[in-house]
A and B are shown apart, each in its own frame.
Chain A
Amino acid sequence: EPEVTQTPSHQVTQMGQEVILRCVPISNHLYFYWYRQILGQKVEFLVSFYNNEISEKSEIFDDQFSVERPDGSNFTLKIRSTKLEDSAMYFCASRGVRFNQPQHFGDGTRLSIL
């Protein structure tokens, strides 16, 4: 069964550094998402992306965050200047084009900011 893949599985970065989290969505999907889960808390929506542009973003997704689909397969989340509170599990998800389809999630990237 097709899967969403995320790399790296764990990223350790110094505060203030830039990080790029990578995702390869399921190949025929057109809607892409990033979510995050701070340890012990709910999964929170960050951003949705369709047709090469952001469709919706949450309050968490401030100017430090950006997303990009640099080619036909990758979908990336960039955090420009990381803060301690950015430490979390980041999940990528994708969804097919038909209505009422589930979102399929990757295994996540654990981001640790020191």
Chain B
Amino acid sequence: SQQGEEDPQALSIQEGENATMNCSYKTSINNLQWYRQNSGRGLVHLILIRSNEREKHSGRLRVTLDTSKKSSSLLITASRAADTASYFCATDSPGFGNEKLTFGTGTRLTIIP
């Protein structure tokens, strides 16, 4: 698989349920970030987790990182209709300065009211 592959590709759940999306990558990373993209809109930064961190929380979001498995997960708890969007993980490689991001293919999340 390529750097930054999310699964599932699409996920539909009922409002109020939790949504879990996974991301795998292949090379060493400095940081892993999750972004949300509403249809036809820009990328909204959700959370950044550093390579030396294992878990991070922000509101209803919980991100885990397992560098030994080169994988990350994004959990959205108590989902709302407004959470309907595509979610992407993006990694940057070790090094100081510019850290270009390599994006995954994304998970399209649909919350059913």
Chain A residues near B64 (CB-CB < 8 A): none
Chain B residues near A91 (CB-CB < 8 A): 42-43
The answer to whether B33 has its CB under 8 Å from any CB of chain A is yes
The answer to whether B41 has its CB under 8 Å from any CB of chain A is yes
A45 touches B105 (CB 8 A): no
A110–B40 Cα gap in the complex (Å)?
Answer: 9
Q: How far in angstroms is the closest Cβ of chain A from B21?
A: 15
How many A-B contacts are there with CB distance less than 8 Å?
62
B105 touches A42 (CB 8 A): yes
- A99 in complex: contacting residue of B35, B41, B96, CB < 8 Å: B96
Which bracket fits the contact residues of A?
20 to 34
Contact A43 to B103, CB < 8 A, known contacts A48-B98, A99-B96, A100-B30: yes
The answer to whether A25 has its CB under 8 Å from any CB of chain B is no
A58–B101 Cα gap in the complex (Å)?
Answer: 11
B98 touches A45 (CB 8 A): no
Closest to A58 in B: B100
The answer to whether A55 has its CB under 8 Å from any CB of chain B is yes
- B45 in complex: contacting residue of A43, A45, A58, A105, CB < 8 Å: A105
Besides A100-B50, A101-B48, 20 other CB < 8 A contacts?
A: A4-B42, A33-B98, A33-B101, A35-B101, A42-B104, A43-B43, A43-B90, A43-B101, A45-B101, A45-B102, A48-B100, A55-B98, A56-B98, A91-B43, A95-B99, A100-B30, A102-B48, A104-B45, A105-B44, A108-B41
Can you list 12 A-B contacts with CB-CB less than 8 angstroms, sorted by A residue number? A4-B42, A35-B101, A42-B103, A43-B43, A43-B88, A91-B42, A93-B101, A99-B96, A102-B33, A102-B48, A105-B42, A107-B41
